Structure 1
């Protein structure tokens, strides 16, 4: 049987671990507003998703350092230009020593350019597509990215959304640990049953607190494990 705490209780514990309310608040950030999401260019969206794909299973700081070369090599991640690239061109790019050479991930850039272009055609831009997607159906957006994109399943797509500013929770190790210890999930974390239960609980915490999913997710992660004063999360 699940026993999930009120958000206020979780927040209080996280604040104690981080040295008080003010210290905890300093570690939190808010997502972009719908108006701000609409201002995102399709190139920005493709660049961020591509970066998260290359950072998956790799040292994030190394990818970040190389990203200007990625931007140059892939025409600023303009989807229309990426879609004109042939298999031969992509294969050649994948061998360039200026970037992280991974052909599978390079080819995913073109697949995701198509996803972004198709959504932009229907909604005006991918940013506008993100802006209209309800925050109460985060798992639906994750599923969309996995189905229509390439290598955007799991936390890769979720982190891409987070860095673009779309409100989302992240199923990090600490968040997963809390959800399991509370009995909310059992078995595979990403089963449809568990994902629906997680979404419903985050929606409830959102109603209780008036906070974004992003803030709630971060607070939960800092309320468990080894997250204490002076420790990174």
Structure 2
């Protein structure tokens, strides 16, 4: 398999977006490792929880109700949430101020536990994410899927991107590009596909000295129906 040179991908994206300046203005830059390491853990739990609830539900509906979630769940502070009994969680899941979905509500204490348990080895969840090697960023996806709840598929990676972590994501356009160019040839959730994609992104990063997040966005802009 021959991986397309990043310079070619970049030029195609620039042409589709009206030039290099316009393309650069569209790119969202991730946080630095130092900035990422200081993100409060409650913001991670809130973001994970929001993404879980947005799965299969209107994103706008979830956003409008989110202040109620913050109030009901102690602003997603990890320690107070871990002290609640199962009966208390079931009661909260029936609160009419939020979206009443017991399975999704129960992802909150499970993901709080995942965040809490990273402290012993890494100091905090944020420090673990900041220190994770980019050449194995899909390993972080797998960690969240294994140790968290309902964070598989694109939920975990999209949350990482939203929170400012440097990661590529399997958006529709990125997945289509990787599949059409032979970088991946199996389901995106397989170890084989994630390893192949991670290797390709690492190569493009070495060629371009850009973040994986930028590369992912540029690939998306280079294909699909998003022309200017």
Please give the TM-score of this superposition, normalised by the length of structure 1. 0.95
| Contact 2:186-2:192 within 8 A present in 1 as well | no
The size of the alignment, in residue pairs, is 228
Counterpart of 1:140 in structure 2 is: 139
Deviation at residue 227 of structure 1 after TM alignment: 1.0
Report runs of 4+ in structure 1 exceeding 6 Å deviation: none
Deviation at residue 52 of structure 1 after TM alignment: 0.9
Counterpart of 1:96 in structure 2 is: 95
Counterpart of 1:109 in structure 2 is: 108
Deviation at residue 187 of structure 1 after TM alignment: 2.5
Deviation at residue 121 of structure 1 after TM alignment: 3.0
Taking the aligned partners of 2:122 and 2:52, their CA distance within structure 1 comes to 24
SS class of match (1:150): coil
What pairs with 1:58-207 in structure 2 (closer than 5 Å)?
58-207=57-206
Taking the aligned partners of 2:100 and 2:20, their CA distance within structure 1 comes to 44
Deviation at residue 4 of structure 1 after TM alignment: 2.7
Counterpart of 1:45 in structure 2 is: 44
Instruction: Mark the runs of 5 or more structure 1 residues left unpaired by the alignment.
Output: none
SS class of match (2:135): helix
Instruction: Mark the runs of 5 or more structure 2 residues left unpaired by the alignment.
Output: none
For residues 136-192 of structure 1, what are the alpha-carbon distances to aligned partners after superposition, in whole Å with 9 as ceiling and x for unaligned? 111100010011000001100001111111111010111111011101111322221
Taking the aligned partners of 1:219 and 1:84, their CA distance within structure 2 comes to 44
Please give the TM-score of this superposition, normalised by the length of structure 2. 0.97
